[in-house]
Amino acid sequence: MTKDSHMKNLLANKMQRRTFLKWSGAIGVPVIAGGVGTKLLIDKQKEEKVASASEWDNVVSTCSINNCGGRCVVKAYVKDGVVIRVETDTQESGDPSIPPLRACVRGRNYRNVLYHPDRLKYPMKRVGKRGDGKFERISWEEAVETIASEVKRIGDKYGPESRYDNYASGQSWGLHGGSTAVRKLLSITGGFLNFRNDYSSGAGNVATPYTYGTNNSGSSFDSLLHSKYIILWGQNPSEMIFSTPYREYLMQAKRNGAKIIVIDPRYTDTAITYADEWIPILPTTDNAMMDAMGYIIITEKLHDQAFLDKYCIGFDGSHMPKGVVKEESLKSYLLGEQDGVAKTPEWAEKICGVPAEKIREIARNYATIKPAALIQGWAAQRQAYGEQFMRGGAQLACLTGNVGKLGGWAAGTGYWSRSNIVYPISYENPVKASIPCFLWTKAVEQGTEMTAADGLQGTDKLSTNIKLIFNMAGNMLINQHADINKTKQLLEDERKVEFIVVSDLFMTPSAKYADILLPGTTFFERYDIGVPWCFGDYVIFGDKTIDPLFECRNEYDVFAEIADKLGVKEQFTEGRTILDLVKESVERTRKELDPTFPTYEEFREKGVHHFKFDEPLVGFKAQIDDLENNPFETPSGKIELFSKTLWDMNQHEEIPAIAKYISSWEGPEDPLIEKFPLQLISWHYKRRCHSTYDNMPWLEEAAKQEMWLNPKDAEKRGIKDGDRVQVFNERGSLYIDVKVTPRITPGVAGIPQGAWYTPDEAGIDQRGSVNVLTSQRPTPLAKSNPQLTNLVEVKKA
Amino acid sequence: MGQIGFYINQSICQGCKACSVACKDKNNTEVGINFRRVYTKEEGSFMHQPNGGIVHNVKSYYFSIACNHCEQPACLLSCPTGAITKSDENGVVTIDQEICAGAQLCIKACPYGGPQYNKETFKSNKCNFCMDLQEKGEDPVCVATCPLGAIEFGSIEKLRKKYGDIRQIKGMPSPTITKPNIVITPHRDAKLV
Ligand code: SF4
Ligand code: SF4
Ligand code: SF4
């Protein structure tokens, strides 16, 4: 064999120029009247690229605040006012309590985000039909004037419940995003319709508290150094960055000898790096496997009876809440005493595709190798009955007594947090009405018909549908919400939502639906403090690296002007600039929360602050150590494996009182599978943060937008690796290139979520934007997004 | 200081490609030109058991590689213009952009895909071990990048003492061709048997 073919053999390289260029040609260039900035910027970029990366004037430490779970140190090397390259955290203390906060691949591309020629450069107003993407340049004065008058007009005409700030996460982890600005302004001018919950862990956020009384069921990740057996169930921290230091701790856990199992329909990057074993499973069937694990643990007497007796409600007939018969217990369900179906591994194997012997082995290991951590990702709760998945994991943690113990894990949603800073912007919305965030399209269409059964809270009835939408640095307006084709139709009708304001960096699919489109800033162009999701003991200083480019402006400043037009500027700013907000946060954190927090100058100098703790945080340790004085925040004060509250809702089929497998619509047992034989899931791709950075060439090169399909399924359809295919169901249709790979379970197709919806003339997406195929049917209890529950068919394009 | 080289702890490489994109950021290389590359290997198959259970033997790994600044650099030996030199001081192999005439023979000669041809400048270029940064006391960018610390660099002699002598994983060319200055801790599925 020649040396060339050696390497080519191994290196079935995915970095293909051809395919990338093909895509970049397909992205529609927005029609912008008077687009002067682009050429300037491109020239500037070329110029800047000549500059040597090893000559710089100064280094500025800053932080991105997009919606990944991590937060990392970004060091901008600046020469003559231009960022010439980025670096990341260089500290290597070896002290596990101050882990290095290194940027991932997304962070290494930030210079291209900042200087991308497609940046929105000045405010614009829509000139064509809504959604056509035709805009005309306007002055900031006109933009501010228009927004102020529409805010007032719509508020006056329909009432404050008609005004809505849509779920958006593009700049969600700092002190002053666009959404904060909007909400403050709307609050002081009458109020707005609230939403609850999120698109990430929506089913879990509602379900887990029925078991534990809270979503804070996690432990700090350094606790994993004490675990002996770790199950990552549908969790992929290598790609989606749940928490920046998490991977470091997981690696250390592995080095310490923990056995790690990954259960996932895909052989993820996490599985490659950490797993001793990958267990493929069919989407929507996780609870069948969980039930069977419970069955084995109970029938082989591996369960922790003392723990269940002391801390839990509903395990067996003698621990049921008043008024519920003992046949409704978890044990009775698993043994099949009522329905005649014992939840054996053989029963589960038929449903979930995990061999019975494998289920036995994992159940035994999980119950006997202690302490064991069953950690749940959130993908499997973005499914039709996602509530069951989250409570099902918690159920197993209780059966094995792994709750409240160092190195164990309580499962469930799994938030944890023990450090905080002060957020200086506060507001009180006079409107108390709230909807589940996933039902905003319903509130546009039939808001006044919504009831408590739709998750409406704070009022019996809305006085109006949504008429005004702010969409600040978010793509939920079109791209990330389920069923794009349905949402499009809704928004195109200008009689429904009368006015839409979008602020963003680029002409995203959502931005195209703006009536007024504002050019926002990147984190390089403003001051801020970056905070990780509630899984990290640190905060990062976001220093302003350069002045905003073009006419781009911070939303806070823009809304201060709008407030001025409405005569409430003083109330809005309270006399503070963005820099004042940052300084106030630091000062008040020192005063109100933590006197050891650095001063503003120290924080800025160091760029990062680690909160130090002597030992890991163990979820529910207080309750387990002393239940009497620290009851769980449930109605009974105990862990409610059986929730009387859920029972009393009296919808036992879809909202059972114990977690159990519910056969899913558009799951493998749905007869619709005859017509659409593949289960389609999506995942957080390593090169995007949700839909952010989809338009970045280096990242497309690093990880191309493509659908994963098992060789078996590809062969059946005459599809070869690299082929372009059409993926479709009754909701929509898209084109995408295929990666034929054994890294996905047969019968399952996977499309990385977040690609920008790019319809051709016939309205068929060309980019692989998964939400043309997803459904708006909410989960039963949380009314949350089931976006990983889809049946589709695939054919060669 | 003697010959320097890379240590790649492939056993913990998660294929994130941060190293590769960071290298692009430092060297301003366009799409298609990658001084550091991350390759993927995936293989295996599935069987359905009679009861519906799925069994598999899937194996997969990532591998990050740049230029190995070889003892016997095939690139250098192939270059007709003498643009490629190997430093006496630290063994770093570089392509002089002033001299390179774009013959691309180095690209054919190197078994590791090290040199990368730029269709706009009609020249080849490759990893220079970030010597410009090293001279200023900084680490090479890829080393400073890897979130898991899977890339190290230094005196190859010391690296070999510390990490052993593996220079080849499954699918990689034999190290006898160019004598690469690389040490690898292979991924569990990438070990040569
Ligand atoms: S890896 Fe390739 S380019 Fe680098 S020195 Fe060796 S032969 Fe030359
Ligand atoms: S040493 Fe520098 S040039 Fe070489 S691969 Fe690493 S980052 Fe790229
Ligand atoms: S940065 Fe590290 S983990 Fe990521 S691909 Fe490169 S070597 Fe692997």
Residue A254: CB partners within 8 Å, gap ≥ 6? A260, A274
Is A350 within 8 Å of B51 when comparing Cβ atoms? yes
List chain A residues with CB under 8 Å of B13. 273
By residue count, chain B amounts to 193
Ligand nearest to the CA of B69: 1
CB within 8 Å: A102 and B145: yes
Comparing C-alpha atoms, which of A157, A154, A197, A182 is closest to residue A457? A197
pLDDT for A52 beyond 80? no
Distance of alpha carbon A71 from alpha carbon A720, whole angstroms: 39
User: Could you give the residue ranges of the DSSP H alpha helices within A32-120?
Assistant: 37-50, 110-114
Contact A455, A478 (CB under 8 A): no
- Mean pLDDT computed over A712-740: 98
Q: How many C-beta atoms surround the C-beta of residue A618 within 10 A?
A: 24
Strands A229-233, A259-263: pairing is parallel
pLDDT in tens, A767-790: 999 999 999 999 999 999 999 999
Ligand 1 nearest-atom number relative to CA B76? 8
**Can you name the CATH fold of B4-185?**
Alpha-Beta Plaits (3.30.70)
What residue of A is the nearest CA neighbor of B9?
A273
Name chain A contacts of B51, Cβ cutoff 8 Å: 346, 349-350, 355-356
Alpha carbon distance A218, A754 (integer Å): 27
Alpha carbons A22 and A69: distance in angstroms, whole number: 32
Three-class SS state of A85:
strand
Inform me whether the C-beta atom of residue A567 falls under 8 Å from chain B C-beta atoms. Answer: no
A12 interfaces chain B, CB cutoff of 8 Å = yes
- ipTM score: 0.97
Contact A102 B12 (CB under 8 A): no
SS3 A598: coil
Q: What sign for the dihedral angle of Cα A381, A385, A390, A392?
A: negative
- Residue located nearest, by CA, to atom 4 of ligand 1: B67
Burial class (CB in 10 A: 0-12, 13-18, 19+), A404: buried
| Nearest-by-Cβ selection for A54 from B16, B111, B133 | B133
Q: Inter-chain contact A354–B43, Cβ cutoff 8 Å? A: no
Distance CA A177, CA A199 (A): 18
**Mean predicted lDDT score pLDDT of chain A:** 93
Q: Is the pLDDT of residue A2 over 60?
A: no
Sign of CA dihedral A482, A486, A492, A497: negative
CA of B22, nearest ligand number: 2
Query: Mutate which of B11, B25, B174 to disrupt the A interface (most A C-beta within 10 Å)?
Result: B25
Cα distance between residue A276 and residue A102, in whole Å: 26
Q: Cα A74 to chain center, whole Å?
A: 22
Res A36: pLDDT: 34
When pLDDT is averaged across residues A584-613 and rounded to a whole number, the result is: 96
Helix, strand, coil percentages, rounded to 5, for chain A: 35, 15, 50
Average pLDDT over residues B53-79: 97
List chain B residues with CB under 8 Å of A710.
Answer: 46
**Residue whose token pair is 């109330």:** A571
Helices (H), A93-216: 110-114, 140-158, 178-188, 202-212
The DSSP 8-state label assigned to residue A93 in this structure reads: -
Q: Which of B6, B9, B14 to mutate to test the pocket of ligand 3 (most atoms within 8 A of CB)?
A: B14
- d(CA A262, CA A48) in angstroms, rounded, equals 44
**Residue tagged 């290095």 (tokens):** A100
pLDDT value of position A54: 83
- Reported as a single tens digit per residue, the pLDDT across B125-159 is 999 999 999 999 999 999 999 999 999 999 999 99
Nearest to A13 among B15, B37, B146 (CB): B37
Q: How far is B150 from chain A (nearest CA, A)?
A: 11
Subunit contact A88:B55, Cβ cutoff 8 A: no
Among chain B residues, the shortest Cα distance to A100 is held by B147
Nearest CB among A54, A710, A711 relative to B136 is that of A54
Residue A28 has pLDDT above 90, yes or no: no
**Residue A11 banded pLDDT, cuts 50, 70, 90:** very low
In this predicted structure, what is the pLDDT of residue A51?
A: 59
Encode pLDDT of A655-672 as tens digits.
999 999 999 999 999 999
The model's pLDDT over A419-463, given as tens digits with 9 standing for 90+, comes to: 999 999 999 999 999 999 999 999 999 999 999 999 999 999 999
Q: A339 Cβ partners below 8 Å, 6+ apart?
A: A333
Q: How do A516-519 and A499-504 pair as beta strands?
A: parallel
Q: Which residue's CA lies nearest to atom 3 of ligand 3?
A: B13
Residue A534: pLDDT band by 50, 70, 90 thresholds?
A: confident
Contact A121, A504 (CB under 8 A): no
Rounded to whole angstroms, how far apart are CA atoms A27 and B132?
38
* A251–B52 CB contact, under 8 Å: no
Instruction: State the pairing for strand pair A372-376/A124-126.
Output: unpaired
Query: CB distance A742–B44 less than 8 Å?
Result: yes
Residue A47 predicted with pLDDT over 50? no
Secondary structure percentages of chain B, helix, strand, coil, to 5: 20, 25, 55
Which amino acid, one-letter code, is at A763?
G
Size of interface A-B (CB pairs under 8 A): 189
How many residues in total does chain A contain? 797
d(CA A545, CA A58): 10
Helix ranges restricted to H, A474-514: 484-492
3-state secondary structure of A727: strand
Domains of chain A from N-terminus onward: 3-15+665-796 (2.40.40.20), 33-114 (no CATH), 124-200+420-525+551-576 (3.40.50.740), 203-412+618-641 (3.40.228.10)
pLDDT confidence band for A536 (50 / 70 / 90): confident
CA distances from B93 to A332, A599, B23, B123, B130 (A): 71, 47, 17, 16, 11
Question: Which 8-state DSSP code applies to residue A548?
Answer: P
Window from A4-8, A299-303, A564-568 with minimum mean pLDDT: A4-8
Res. A90: pLDDT tops 90: no
CA distance A272 to A264: 12
**CB under 6 Å to ligand 1: residues?**
B 67-70, 73-75, 93, 110, 112, 114-115, 126, 178, 180
For residue A246, which of A630, A532, A485 has the smallest C-alpha distance?
A532
Q: List the structure tokens of A729.
A: 């169901």
Task: Tell me A589's DSSP state.
Answer: I
CB distance B98 to B124 below 8 Å: no
Q: Counting atoms of ligand 2 from 1, which one is nearest the CA of B130?
A: 2
Mapping DSSP to helix (H, G, I), strand (E, B) and coil, where does residue A81 land? coil
Which amino acid, residue A444?
A: V
Tokens of A315: 């395990």
pLDDT score for B33: 97
Segments making up each domain of chain B, as ranges:
4-185
Q: What pLDDT shows up at residue A93?
A: 67
Q: Which residues does A642 contact at the CB level (< 8 Å), separation at least 6? A: A313, A314, A315, A320, A321, A324, A328, A329, A330, A657, A658
Of A3, A111, A742, the CB nearest to B45: A742
Q: How far is the CA of B20 from the centre of ligand 3 (A)?
A: 8
List the single best residue of A242, A698, A704, A706 to mutate versus B (max B Cβ within 10 A): A698
pLDDT tens digits for range A467-515 = 999 999 999 999 999 999 999 999 999 999 999 999 999 999 999 999 9
Q: How far apart are CA A267 and CA A245, in angstroms?
A: 22
Whether the predicted pLDDT of A4 surpasses 50: no
Q: Cis omega (within 30 of 0) on the bond before B180?
A: no
Query: pLDDT digits over A134-145, tens only?
Result: 999 999 999 999
List the one residue out of A545, A473, A535, A420 whose CA is nearest residue A63: A545
Q: From the list B52, B54, B173, which residue is nearest A6 (CB)? A: B173
- As to burial, measured by CB atoms within 10 angstroms (0-12 exposed, 13-18 middle, 19+ buried), residue A795 is exposed
Considering only CB atoms, B147 lies closest to which of A111, A247, A351, namely A247
* A331 has a pLDDT exceeding 70: yes
Strand, coil or helix: A474: coil
Question: Which of B170, B164, B158, B185 has the alpha carbon at shortest distance from B13?
Answer: B185
**How distant is the Cα of B177 from the closest Cα of chain A, in angstroms?**
8
Asked if B14 lies within 8 A of A20 by C-beta distance, the reply is no
Strand partners, A526: none
The side-by-side arrangement of strands in the sheet containing A124-126 is A31-33, A134-137, A124-126, A516-519, A499-504, A468-472, A163-165
For atom 8 of ligand 3, which residue has the closest CA? B13
Residue in the structure block whose two tokens are 């905060």:
A539
The rounded distance, in Å, linking the Cα atoms of A534 and A243 is: 9
